[in-house]
A and B are shown apart, each in its own frame.
Chain A
């Protein structure tokens, strides 16, 4: 069972690693990388689903009767593009956050926001 379902084990391990990184790390870039690993595990899942025993790449050629299922390949191309767009958007947000907060650590950013909120409340009380 270990060898036969090897792909599925890899999917599960990568999925859990990805989610763990997103939750456990405070560095914004590391979170994005964790998210990418999580999404990649889903891609591997779909592609493993598409492989048919004895099937070749799904490109029409003479003399070949058994092809792998091309539909999940197409779905994953779409999902990869979506993943790229998400990562690009996330990284540009991190650049802007670095410019505004001067930090890319979650705790420092939340600390700065809390301090700002506290000083606003203090200013309100004294006014």
Chain B
């Protein structure tokens, strides 16, 4: 059993998805999905322990030897991400049944859980696999289920947002497919480990250069880096609230993982950063993304749109950390993946609770909510403080590591710009807090109750994790540093 953990991590949610159709009862399917997700979480904990103690796990599917067979390769980086994805998935599922009762028609509940499990499978598969084409297959599985989940939103804008995401997402995935094809043409292999050994000899050909560019552009579209971020705000705002909570915390992290995996492990550090001026390009685009997205967030009247733009800004921070191409910079990016998942998971779950009680998340509906839903709003406050980077929260830890990584390399002006970006975060978080705590409700006769326990438990689990991991950073920093160091050790 232990030997098969890498494949079980992916197969269990995959097989569980059609079983949901057999169970066919809303609450029963919810419990089943929650159990499956918890099982996936425990497998990822076991995998992380195994990798931290004994090194890289290599698993051959069907007993076929790599590089001819498909290989699942779990190292520090993978295991860290598997933990984040399955953890967030389990926590979000606790609130899922209550949330979709008001947002999705009863006869569609079972299909919601089927799509959710398929989406979880897709993301786990992208992260766990060590074969380039397998990445494409699982990328499409997770994308297609994402398009369908987003289209389940109750307003008609959800359909349009899903269609736009479908068009842009398919173009991005097809670019990645083209890149993989060009790589295969030059080396004859699809296994990532084998590719990293064979690509250096053909690295100076135009084919490999074009392959690299296609893969990078495709992945950047999936990770919503400026200027390829246009699909994200509408997709996150109009999806069912629990879907937003799940995707905001996981989907873009998986794309950042792909970026890191392709540049460090497949193409190699020296190739990636010298063929095109990746450092300058990504640092510039990351910074522009931070400022443009944070500024746009300030002017939003829909709070989900506001935090969706905030997500784009946070991706910008991860890109800046990545562009440094040092161990410290990569550690900062990996840390931020973990921390941002906690922050945005908490905030969007709290927004889901507000939608459940109030019906919408327009800024004007937040008036007086600080008094009527104190625990939910407190969660948003702490999440907001984390976004800004206040000490004692996880947001501070990632910002600190990013700033030290920048200063270490001498990029003082960039460090100042990062701090300015945090000031913008203060503005948009303050907009929400001011309305919730300092304005009177529009109609004093409507009494809004606090969110039910099924929301409060996962929200406060994530909020307490926010604060705990902001104070005791051993787990996240150790794993992130180990992952960053092993990536630098492996690349030629």
In Å, the complex CA distance between A94 and B177 comes to 25
- A38, A72, A75, A113 pick with most chain B CB within 10 angstroms: A75
Rounded to whole angstroms, the CA-CA distance of A86 and B148 in the bound complex is 10
Q: Are A94 and B144 in contact (CB under 8 A)?
A: no
Asked if B178 CB lies within 8 Å of chain A CBs, one says yes
**Is B171 within 8 A of A22, CB to CB?**
yes
In the complex, whether A67 has a CB less than 8 A from a CB of chain B is no
Contact check, B166 vs A93: say whether CB atoms are below 8 A apart.
yes
B138 → chain A, closest Cβ, in Å?
11
For residue B488, CB closer than 8 A to chain A, the reply is no
Q: Which of A19, A46, A93 contacts B163 (CB 8 A)?
A: A93
Q: Could you tell me if A89 and B147 are in contact, using CB atoms closer than 8 angstroms?
A: yes
The reply to whether A86 and B140 form a contact with Cβ atoms under 8 Å apart is yes
Q: How far is the CA of A46 from the CA of B190 in the complex (A)?
A: 13
B123: shortest Cβ distance to chain A, in Å?
Answer: 16
Contacting pair B156 A39 (CB below 8 A): no
- Asked if A90 is an interface residue, CB under 8 A from chain B, the answer is yes
> Is A14's beta carbon under 8 Å from chain B?
no
Inter-chain contacts of B157 with A (CB < 8 A): 113
CA distance A47 to B190 in the complex (A): 16
Considering the complex, give the chain A residue whose CB is closest to the CB of B143. A86
Once A39-B174, A42-B177 are accepted as A-B contacts, the answer to whether A85 and B144 lie under 8 Å apart by CB is yes
B170 CB-CB contact with A under 8 Å: yes
A72→B184 CA distance, assembly (Å):
9
Question: Would A35 and B170 count as touching, CB distance under 8 A?
Answer: yes
Which residues of chain B are within 8 angstroms of A42 by Cβ–Cβ distance? 174, 177-178, 181
* Contacting pair B178 A45 (CB below 8 A): yes
Interface residues on A, range: 20 to 34
Nearest-Cβ distance from residue A14 to partner chain B, whole angstroms: 12
Provide the bound-state CA to CA distance between A72 and B177, in Å. Answer: 12
Known: A38-B174, A49-B185, A75-B133. A97 touches B167 (CB 8 A): no
State whether A82 and B137 are in contact (beta carbons under 8 Å apart), knowing that A49-B181, A89-B148, A93-B151 are contacts in the complex. Answer: yes
Complex CA distance for A89 and B167, rounded to whole angstroms: 11
Q: CB of B162 within 8 A of chain A? A: yes
Cα–Cα distance between A115 and B170 once the two chains are bound (Å): 29
Min CB–CB distance B252 → chain A (angstroms) = 20
B167, A96: Cβ atoms closer than 8 Å: no
Which residues of B come within 8 Å of A, CB atoms? Answer: 133, 136-137, 140, 144, 147-148, 151, 156-157, 159-160, 162-163, 166-167, 170-171, 174, 177-178, 181, 184-185, 190, 364
Please, could you name 5 A-B residue pairs with CB atoms under 8 Å apart, sorted by A?
Answer: A35-B167, A39-B170, A89-B147, A97-B160, A124-B364
- Which A residues are closer than 8 A to B by beta carbons? 19, 22, 28, 31, 35, 38-39, 42, 45-46, 49, 71-72, 75, 78-79, 82, 85-86, 89-90, 93-94, 96-97, 100-101, 109, 113, 124
